[in-house]
Structure 1
Amino acid sequence: MDDFLAARSQMALSLGFHIIFSCIGMVMPFFMAVAHYKWLRGGDETYRNLTKAWSKGVAIFFAVGAVSGTVLSFELGLLWPKFMEHAGPIFGMPFSLEGTAFFIEAIALGFFLYGWGRFHPWFHWFTGVVVGVSGLASGILVVAANAWMNSPSGFDYVNGQYLNVDPVRAMFNDAWLSQALHMTLAAFAATGFAVAGVHALMVLKRRNIHFHFRAFQIAAVFGTVAAVLQPLSGDFSAKDVARRQPAKLAAMEAHFHTEKSAALVLGGLPNEKEQRVDYAIKIPGALSFLAHGNFEQEVTGLDRIPVADRPPVTVPHLAFQLMVGLGMFMMGLALLYFWALWRRPHWLRADWLLKLFVAAIPAGFIAVEAGWTVTEVGRQPWILYGIMRTRDAVTPMPGIAYSFYLFTAVYLSLSLVVIFLLYRQIKMVPELYDRPALVGAA
């Protein structure tokens, strides 16, 4: 493995690992706050125990997310020094604000974890809300920095120099809103379905049914609402990408030839050598409509992009199809859940519906990983779109492959530790709240 590939692989591994914990860190505090609110308002001790159980999970994910996020920050400077030399002063604002949000989150989490019986109950609840809000802000600020890489702004690029820097304009670039919205909804959908699925599994095993069914209800509402809204943000993002990054859109859709009434490709295997897609289902005009809101409008293909500037096609296309497919699955399950809430309340306690949620445990996070693959691979060969190539930004330091192997071993070990801690946490749920009568058979 050459150093360039090793640097990219290490960055991808670090980001792929961290993004799971950042999503959970953004979302689970809101589940915790809802459970806490229900206990304060209704006095049901089940919600108090649920709040405490979830707060321990939040602490685990916060610790791992903080470590992996710190590693990512160092990697930007160590692996991509040329990029940071020029980009640091421009997009440093969202990173510095993210650091502030992180510190607020850490302080609020400390208050919450150690504030039981020490603070006024509603102030204690408020500290939990602050954990969620600051975590959400932290995630949005990091996405704003990534959006700047996809849509550089806030400076003038003249003769290789970055002049007239405007950090505020750089932070609120053309891509930040669509990316932040899409990522936030993805985090809520992924975490909501994962948490709901874990608790559904415990219900199916007839363990602490009352406790786990309450937890399932809270997480399922967050996840299903986000899953229904996600296609709307996806449409917004697709139109934004079509306007700013036509090469990325062409790679996502394996759209090799510029044409009007462009067809939407479902599935298929791109053949980059022969410029075609095999085994695909094509819907005439649908890509033109999704990209431009018009069934007739022309969609730029890869044939309009210089060869040296074209991104890979197979990886973004397959990742995009996987993301959309899993998103449709979660949206379908969400609609089924809403129908059950409205017209078939007995379905909510049916084993078959709970099993569907168990099947959806990994769906959201796989979709998140696939979406980031589309974002990052689809931007290639640019690290700063249209201005700096990824190969020109990599460190000249040799031996990066060994660093990649080391980090792979560390992340695998850390993953096993987290799985063990979460498994032990779930097993420690008190048996006092087991009321099997609440959940019937299918």
Structure 2
Amino acid sequence: MDDFIAARSQMALSLGFHIIFSCIGMVMPFFMAVSHYYWLKTDQIVYKNVTKAWSKGVAIFFATGAVSGTVLSFELGLLWPEFMKHAGPIFGMPFSLEGTAFFIEAIALGFFLYGWDRFNKWFHWFTGVIVGVSGLASGILVVAANAWMNSPAGFDFVNGQYLNIDPIAAMFNKAWFSQALHMTIAAFVATGFAVAGVHALMIMRGQNVLFHTKSFKIAAIFGCAAAILQPLSGDISAKDVAVRQPAKLAAMEAHFHTEKSASLILGGIPDEANKEVKYAIKLPGFLSFLAHGDFETEVTGLDKIPAENHPPVAITHYAFQIMVGMGMAMMGISLVYFLALWKKRDWLTSKWLLKLFVFATPLGFIAVEAGWTVTEVGRQPWIIYNVMRTADAVTPMPGIAYSFYLFTGVYISLAIFVVFMLYRQIKMVGTLYDKE
């Protein structure tokens, strides 16, 4: 493994690990706040138990996310010094604000965890809401920085110099809204389905059924509502990418030839040598419609883009197909669940519905990982789109491969530790709260 691939692999590993904890940190506090609100309004002890149990999970994920996020910030400077040298002064504002949001989140979480029976009950609840709001703001600000890499703004690039820097314009670039919206909804989908799936499994096992039923309903409603909204944000993102990054869209769809009434491709195996997709289902005109809102509009193919600027087609295409496939599966489950809430109440206690949620437990996070693969791999070979190539930004320091192996070991160990802690927490729920 050469140093360039090692540097990219290390960033991919770090980002892929951290994004899971970021999603949970953005969303779980809202679940916690809802259950806490129900306890304050109904005085049902089960909601207090749910709130306390979830708050411990939030604390575990917050601590792990803080560690992995700190590593990521160091890696930007260590692995990509040329990038940070020029980009830091331009898109540093969202990172600085993200740091502020992180500190607010940490303080509010401390107040919430240690505020039971010490604060006014509504102030205590409000600190939990602040944990969620600041966590959500933190995630959106990081996405704004990434969006800048896909849609550079806020500077003039003249003779290799970055002039007339405007941090506000950089932060609110043309991609920030669509990316932030898509990522925020994805976080609710992934976390909602993961939490609902765990509680569905506990219900099926007959462990503390009331506790897990209340928990399942809160998580499922959040996750299912977000899953139904996600295709709308996906459509906004696709139309945005079609205009700003036609090479990425072409790679996502393995669209090799520029044409009008372009076909939407489902599945298939891209053959880059022969510029075709084998074994795919093609829907004529639908790519034109999804990208530009018209069935006849021309869609730029890879043949209009210089070969040296082509993203890796196969990886981008497969990741996009996985993301869409997982999203459609969760949307289908969501429609079934809301039908059960509306018309078929007897379905809510059926094992087949619970099994659907257990099956869907990892789907949201698989979709999130695939979506970030599309975002990052689809931008290649650029680290700043159409401005700086990734190969020109990497550190000249040798031995990056050893760093990659080391960090891989660290992240695997950390993942095992987190799984162990969560397993213990879930096991404790069945005994501790039954005794109250």
> TM-score, structure 2 length as denominator?
0.99
Separation (CA, whole Å) in 1 of partners of 2:115 and 2:406: 39
Alignment correspondent of 1:215: 215
Separation (CA, whole Å) in 2 of partners of 1:412 and 1:366: 17
Alignment correspondent of 1:389: 389
Instruction: Give 1:346 shift.
Output: 1.1
Alignment correspondent of 1:192: 192
Identity of aligned pairs, percent? 78
Alignment correspondent of 2:138: 138
Amino acid at match of 1:271: D
Alignment correspondent of 1:20: 20
CA contact 2:155–2:162 (8 Å) conserved in 1: yes
Alignment correspondent of 2:375: 375
Instruction: Give 1:432 shift.
Output: 7.3
Alignment correspondent of 1:344: 344
CA contact 2:200–2:354 (8 Å) conserved in 1: yes
CA contact 1:209–1:433 (8 Å) conserved in 2: no
1:1-12 alignment runs, 5 A limit? 1-12=1-12
Alignment correspondent of 1:428: 428
Amino acid at match of 1:74: F
Q: How many residues align?
A: 435
Query: In structure 1, the residue corresponding to 2:118 is in which secondary structure?
Result: coil
Amino acid at match of 1:194: A
CA contact 1:247–1:301 (8 Å) conserved in 2: yes
Alignment correspondent of 1:72: 72
Alignment correspondent of 1:114: 114
Alignment correspondent of 1:247: 247
Structure 1's consecutive aligned runs of 4 or more residues displaced over 4 angstroms after TM superposition are none
Task: Give yes or no for the alignment of 1:160 onto 2:172.
Answer: no
Q: 1:39 to 1:377 in 2, by over 3 A?
A: same
CA-to-aligned-CA distance 1:291-347 (integer Å, 9 cap, x gap)? 000000000000000011111100000000000000000000000001001000111
Alignment correspondent of 2:126: 126
CA contact 1:252–1:320 (8 Å) conserved in 2: yes
Query: In structure 1, the residue corresponding to 2:429 is in which secondary structure?
Result: coil
Instruction: Give 1:157 shift.
Output: 0.4
Task: Give yes or no for the alignment of 1:299 onto 2:316.
Answer: no
Amino acid at match of 2:102: F
Separation (CA, whole Å) in 1 of partners of 2:19 and 2:413: 17
Alignment correspondent of 2:270: 270
CA-to-aligned-CA distance 1:358-398 (integer Å, 9 cap, x gap)? 00000000000000000000000000000000000000000
CA contact 1:99–1:138 (8 Å) conserved in 2: yes
Separation (CA, whole Å) in 2 of partners of 1:28 and 1:220: 12
- List runs of 5+ in structure 2 lacking aligned partners: none
Separation (CA, whole Å) in 2 of partners of 1:301 and 1:348: 47
Separation (CA, whole Å) in 2 of partners of 1:59 and 1:71: 19
Instruction: Give 1:6 shift.
Output: 0.1
Alignment correspondent of 1:313: 313
CA-to-aligned-CA distance 1:176-223 (integer Å, 9 cap, x gap)? 000000000000000000000000000000000000000000000000
CA-to-aligned-CA distance 1:114-164 (integer Å, 9 cap, x gap)? 000110000000000000000000000000000000000000000000000
Separation (CA, whole Å) in 2 of partners of 1:293 and 1:32: 40
What is the root-mean-square deviation in Å for CA atoms of aligned residues?
0.9
CA contact 2:150–2:385 (8 Å) conserved in 1: yes
Amino acid at match of 2:335: L
Alignment correspondent of 1:32: 32
Query: In structure 2, the residue corresponding to 1:429 is in which secondary structure?
Result: helix
Task: Give yes or no for the alignment of 1:235 onto 2:235.
Answer: yes
Amino acid at match of 2:148: W
Separation (CA, whole Å) in 2 of partners of 1:44 and 1:417: 33
Separation (CA, whole Å) in 2 of partners of 1:429 and 1:296: 57
Task: Give yes or no for the alignment of 1:322 onto 2:322.
Answer: yes
Separation (CA, whole Å) in 1 of partners of 2:275 and 2:312: 12
CA contact 2:49–2:433 (8 Å) conserved in 1: no
Separation (CA, whole Å) in 2 of partners of 1:125 and 1:102: 19
Instruction: Give 1:39 shift.
Output: 0.3
CA contact 1:238–1:291 (8 Å) conserved in 2: yes
Separation (CA, whole Å) in 2 of partners of 1:404 and 1:429: 37
Amino acid at match of 2:197: G
> TM-score, structure 1 length as denominator?
0.98
Query: In structure 2, the residue corresponding to 1:143 is in which secondary structure?
Result: helix
Task: Give yes or no for the alignment of 1:365 onto 2:331.
Answer: no
CA contact 2:207–2:430 (8 Å) conserved in 1: no
Amino acid at match of 1:53: A
- List runs of 5+ in structure 1 lacking aligned partners: 435-442
Instruction: Give 1:433 shift.
Output: 6.4
CA contact 1:210–1:433 (8 Å) conserved in 2: no
CA-to-aligned-CA distance 1:84-122 (integer Å, 9 cap, x gap)? 000000000000000000000000000000000110000
Instruction: Give 1:431 shift.
Output: 3.8
CA contact 2:157–2:163 (8 Å) conserved in 1: yes
Instruction: Give 1:421 shift.
Output: 0.1
Separation (CA, whole Å) in 1 of partners of 2:80 and 2:284: 42
